Amino acid sequence: MMGEYSSQGVSNFWRHVKTLDAWKHHTVIHELNDDELSHMIPCNIHGDGAEMFTDDEYFVWSWSSAFSSSSLTSDVLLHRFPIAVVAEREMLDDNVFWLFIE
């Protein structure tokens, strides 16, 4: 999860993030000390369509550590973890795919 970062490297990352305009007022990262920040790994959430069978596309959500790198391994499944896989045809039907109904 930490990629090539040490605990100190993770703390340094968060110390830098605290100085960025978008995060200057984020209450959680400003309340944590360096030791707590050294255990806090930022996550990426990714969603994308993927054709798995002919003319049958699926939408795949996955998460990974922001510190993970494909340079560590060529197998994407070792650093990106699936959350959900939904057939696109199901996403178009409000009666079936209730998650996006307002």
* Per-residue pLDDT at 94: 64
Look at residue 57 and tell me whether its pLDDT is greater than 90: no
Stronger pLDDT, 51 or 15, i.e. the higher one: 15
Average pLDDT over residues 71-82: 69
Beta bridge partners of 61: 47, 84
* Per-residue pLDDT at 73: 59
Look at residue 21 and tell me whether its pLDDT is greater than 70: yes
Look at residue 43 and tell me whether its pLDDT is greater than 80: yes
Query: What's the CA gap between 2 and 39, in Å, rounded?
Result: 9
What DSSP string describes 53-64? ETTEEEEEEEEE
Flag whether the pTM goes above 0.75.
no
Look at residue 88 and tell me whether its pLDDT is greater than 90: no
Look at residue 76 and tell me whether its pLDDT is greater than 70: no
Q: Provide the edge-to-edge strand list for the sheet that holds 81-87.
A: 43-53, 56-65, 81-87
Average pLDDT over residues 17-34: 89
Average pLDDT over residues 13-35: 90
Query: What's the CA gap between 69 and 33, in Å, rounded?
Result: 26
> Distance from CA of residue 66 to its chain's centroid?
7
